[in-house]
């Protein structure tokens, strides 16, 4: 921002400039001619936001709800730091406290900024959203909802004739939250998202602000067709953006690359006649038929896990324990979602997290549940 001409900065966060890194950063900005103010406050509290805005003595050119680089004229630049995400949790296990902890900084924070600056003529109002708000993430429903709200708020401001843009960020390498949380970054990569660096983020922001009339206030980033194409060629499609009909145009090229009908049948179409026939045969009580169904289900489970881990199917032995692959609540939630989409069978998260659980045992559990569902249908 300094390189692009900004000279007046107001930073607002809950802790103020208390860390050594923050103090050093401010010194560097001031040494290059910037005027810096740090306000201690909580963006989810309107009185704190209003107090911060009233403390600014020069015209406010724009606001960014999160720290980011962008073009700005020689006015004040107001940034609002977001708080850390709450720990992941499935929606049915999420407490109101966890839900609100994920929503308040983004939802209340962005709305408070919108209200506090309602009478101010801004050049820009930018909120940093996440691709999670568009395609979803297992065990992060509060985070996804919060970012979906930011996307909607940007469109709402545009409908009011006010500046507003929400940039749905994907995997940012080298800096930021994902850099500090490699497990989350790995999960996004498994879903077909590509990583980009800080310089590319700056280019995205520049484009967003320079061509504001060419989109509706919402920009989704990180959807890289070559990465999706690689997943499609391997048949690793479970839980990826391939399932999102809104991205059909983007994924059409990758879909055309299928050349293995048997892989497509096992990996993508659980309602194919072969599986239905296997279930019907197993329902008649034949031991051989039940064993055949178990083998089919185990193959599907192995393929799902292989796709999630970005490894070949041969790497997932049928007697392999899930714990050997680092199965945790986040990976388990992703596995659970993919399994439900593929076999229409909901398996409790606790099943995946059992240390003794292997692919054979999981297959047997799924077969039993599938037969029970069919019996009671």
Q: What pLDDT, in 10s, does the model give residues 75-108? A: 344 545 433 333 445 566 678 888 888 888 899 9
Bigger pLDDT: 203 vs 216: 203
Domains 8-222 and 261-376 equal at CATH topology level: no
- Which helix or strand (DSSP H or E) is residue 291 part of? helix 287-309
Strand order through the sheet with 165-169 = 35-40, 8-13, 76-80, 60-65, 124-130, 165-169, 218-220
Quote the Cα angle for 94-337-340, to 5°. 125
In this structure, what DSSP letter does residue 76 have? E
Q: Note whether 345 and 367 are within 8 A (CB).
A: no
pLDDT score recorded for residue 192: 57
Q: How confident is the model at residue 179 (pLDDT cuts 50, 70, 90)?
A: low
User: What Å distances lie between residue 166 and 9, 221, 347, CA to CA?
Assistant: 21, 11, 35
Spell out the domain ranges in the chain.
8-222, 261-376
Instruction: Give the integer Cα–Cα distance in Å for 150 and 128.
Output: 8
* CATH number of this structure's domain 8-222: 3.40.50.720
CA-closest candidate to residue 251, choices 236, 232, 273: 232
Reported in sequence order, the residue ranges of the chain that DSSP labels E, i.e. its strands, are 8-13, 35-40, 60-65, 76-80, 124-130, 165-169, 171-172, 195-196, 218-220
| Percent of the chain's residues with pLDDT above 70 | 72
Select, from the ranges 54-68, 133-147, 253-267, the one with the highest average predicted confidence (pLDDT): 54-68
CA-closest candidate to residue 108, choices 138, 80, 136: 80
Q: Which fold has domain 261-376?
A: 1.10.1200
Q: What is the pTM of this model?
A: 0.65
């Amino acid at each position: 921002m300094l390189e692009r001409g900004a000279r007046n900065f107001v930073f607002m966060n809950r802790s103020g400039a208390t860390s050594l890194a923050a103090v050093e950063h401010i010194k560097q900005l001031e040494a290059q001619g910037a005027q810096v103010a740090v306000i201690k406050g909580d963006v989810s509290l309107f009185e704190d936001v209003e107090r911060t805005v009233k403390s600014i003595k020069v015209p406010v050119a724009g606001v960014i709800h999160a720290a980011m680089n962008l073009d700005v004229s020689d006015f004040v630049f107001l940034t609002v730091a977001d708080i850390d995400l709450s720990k992941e949790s499935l929606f049915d296990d999420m407490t109101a406290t966890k839900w609100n902890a994920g929503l308040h900084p983004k939802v209340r924070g962005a709305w408070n900024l919108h209200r506090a600056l309602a009478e101010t003529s801004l050049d820009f109002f930018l909120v940093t959203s996440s691709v999670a708000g568009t395609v979803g993430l297992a065990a992060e429903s509060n985070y996804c909802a919060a970012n979906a709200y930011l996307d909607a708020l940007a469109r709402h401001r545009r409908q009011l004739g006010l500046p507003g843009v929400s940039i749905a960020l994907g995997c940012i390498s080298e800096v930021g939250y994902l850099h500090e949380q490699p497990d989350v970054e790995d999960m996004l990569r498994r879903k077909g998202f590509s990583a980009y660096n800080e310089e590319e983020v700056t280019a995205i922001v520049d484009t967003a602000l320079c061509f504001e009339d060419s989109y509706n206030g919402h920009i989704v980033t990180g959807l890289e067709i070559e990465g999706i194409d690689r997943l499609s060629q391997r048949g690793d499609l479970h839980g990826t953006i391939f399932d999102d009909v809104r991205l059909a145009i983007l994924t059409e090229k990758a879909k055309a690359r299928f050349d293995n009908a048997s892989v497509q049948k096992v990996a993508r179409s659980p309602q194919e006649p072969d599986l239905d026939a296997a279930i019907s045969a197993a329902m008649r009580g034949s031991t051989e038929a039940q064993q055949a169904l178990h083998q089919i289900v185990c193959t599907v489970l192995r393929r799902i896990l292989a796709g999630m881990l970005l490894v070949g199917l041969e790497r997932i032995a049928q007697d392999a324990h899930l714990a050997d692959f680092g199965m945790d609540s986040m990976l388990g939630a992703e596995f659970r979602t993919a399994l439900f989409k593929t076999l229409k069978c909901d398996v409790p998260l606790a099943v995946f997290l059992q240390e003794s659980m292997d692919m054979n045992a999981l297959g047997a559990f799924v077969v039993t549940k599938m037969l029970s569902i069919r019996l009671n249908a």
